[in-house]
Chains A and B, each alone.
Chain A
């Protein structure tokens, strides 16, 4: 069973611009979270071994989930400016336990002045099926959030 996801997008901006949106913590905080969520904390230590740390805060619009915090922590393993970004990404619960684990590779390719962005992200650590099941049970990305997000958008 495939546990890797590949998504390709063409963005109407230069690679440098897109790179900045990904690596400047102030910019990241502006587009990262879904509807109803704000980003009170975003830290980007852009170097190999450096930490990526983003906290999502559920707002009033998310009703029963309001006030919940969903931190995400990652470590950069490869950085090629405006070309490639590789980092681990772990979703944590409020106690710091790892709920979701993945590795994400992002490549930035120039295409007629636009940027072809390719995201390859693994859904779980190693073995297929079971880890995903385990992690599918955690509260952060539950159906409720999906539904509420849809309802409010």
Chain B
């Protein structure tokens, strides 16, 4: 879980922009080359690069080179946070159903 306040600020800051959120969503589904990422937006490649730098600084994405292309994917940290979240979400529901069970027994 991202706990350090500076990192949290970086993440929140990076997510405050709709284009960056959209980039993250798409990259979250599968890794994409920088040119593929830039395609749907009506902005320059330089503008996209700026977005990617911010996301990378926030440790939300990783970039690696594949031949001539730069490929972007969700970072392991981001993935770990997401699965951690899922785990806690499940726990909330499991506990909720535990309480329902106890309640039904009590109220028999």
**Residues of chain A within 8 A of B91, CB atoms compared:** 146
Q: Mark A13-32, 1 if CB is under 8 A from B, else 0.
A: 10001100100000100111
**Residues of chain B within 8 A of A5, CB atoms compared:** 86, 89-90, 93
How many chain B residues sit at the interface, stated as a range, is: 35 or more
Is B105's CB under 8 angstroms from A1's CB?
Answer: no
Q: Which residues of B come within 8 Å of A, CB atoms?
A: 1-2, 8, 11-12, 15, 21, 24-26, 28-29, 60, 74, 78-79, 81-86, 88-97, 99-105, 107-108
Q: Which residues of A come within 8 Å of B, CB atoms?
A: 1-3, 5, 7, 9, 11-13, 17-18, 21, 27, 30-32, 34, 100, 102, 117, 119, 121, 123, 126-137, 141, 143, 146, 149
Query: Can you show 18 pairs from A to B with CB atoms below 8 A apart?
Result: A1-B28, A1-B83, A2-B86, A7-B94, A11-B101, A12-B101, A13-B104, A21-B104, A31-B100, A34-B92, A119-B93, A129-B79, A130-B15, A132-B85, A134-B15, A136-B81, A137-B8, A141-B92
